[in-house]
Amino acid sequence: MNITKEQHRELAVNLLNQTWKLINKQHRTEDEDLEMIHSAQASSYHWRLTGNYINWSRGEWLTSRVYATLGSGEEALRHAEANKRIAEKYMLSGYDAALVAEALARAYQLLGETEYAKAHLAQAHKLAAAIEKESDRQHILSELNTILE
């Protein structure tokens, strides 16, 4: 089966949107939790086939976020670290660098590594403060406010 780059992109976007619907759902079933994992991973997969390093980074961030939402600290950290490797390789900055620090802080919090969580949270706040686009800055700051509550 041949899928065009545009079809991969469309699948990636649709799966990303489905993942966010599930993340934001107040009460998920176990099947919906699994669907959330699969949709995040599938979105990331399709971005790897059609996107660029920013899409790859955000795919790992989303997958980390899903596992964090489910309380799976080790898996959240695995994908946060994958995101960090992409960010370092491609020297991501601004919004995407803040996402890396946010994911690491969230994962370390789940693992009970409070000092690491606090350090990455402080880094995320510093990076967020430098984001020029107001809506991106506010989005990151609102996400950071949910860590270490």
The answer to whether position 136 is within a domain reads: yes
Domain count, the chain: 1
Q: What is the mean pLDDT of the segment spanning 40-58?
A: 97
Give me Rg for the CA atoms of the chain. Answer: 15
| pLDDT tens readout for residues 89-115 | 999 999 999 999 999 999 999 999 999
The answer to whether position 149 is within a domain reads: no
Angle at 51 between CA 88 and CA 18, to 5 degrees: 105
Extract the tokens encoding 54.
């920013």
pTM: 0.94
Q: According to the model, what pLDDT value does residue 33 have? A: 99
pLDDT category, 149, cuts 50, 70, 90?
low
Q: Is the pLDDT of residue 1 over 90?
A: no
Question: d(Cα 79, Cα 86) in Å, to the nearest integer?
Answer: 11
Question: d(Cα 36, Cα 85) in Å, to the nearest integer?
Answer: 24
- Expressed as residue numbers, the domain containing 131 is 5-144
Question: d(Cα 51, Cα 44) in Å, to the nearest integer?
Answer: 9
Cα distances from 132 to residues 58, 94, 95, 128, 135, in angstroms, run: 19, 8, 9, 9, 9
Q: What is the mean pLDDT of the segment spanning 41-47?
A: 97
Please, which residues have CB within 8 angstroms of residue 49's CB and are 6 or more apart in sequence? 5, 8
The answer to whether position 35 is within a domain reads: yes
The CATH number covering residue 95 comes to: 1.25.40.10
Using the structure block, give the residue that is written with the tokens 């949910």: 146
The answer to whether position 12 is within a domain reads: yes
The answer to whether position 69 is within a domain reads: yes
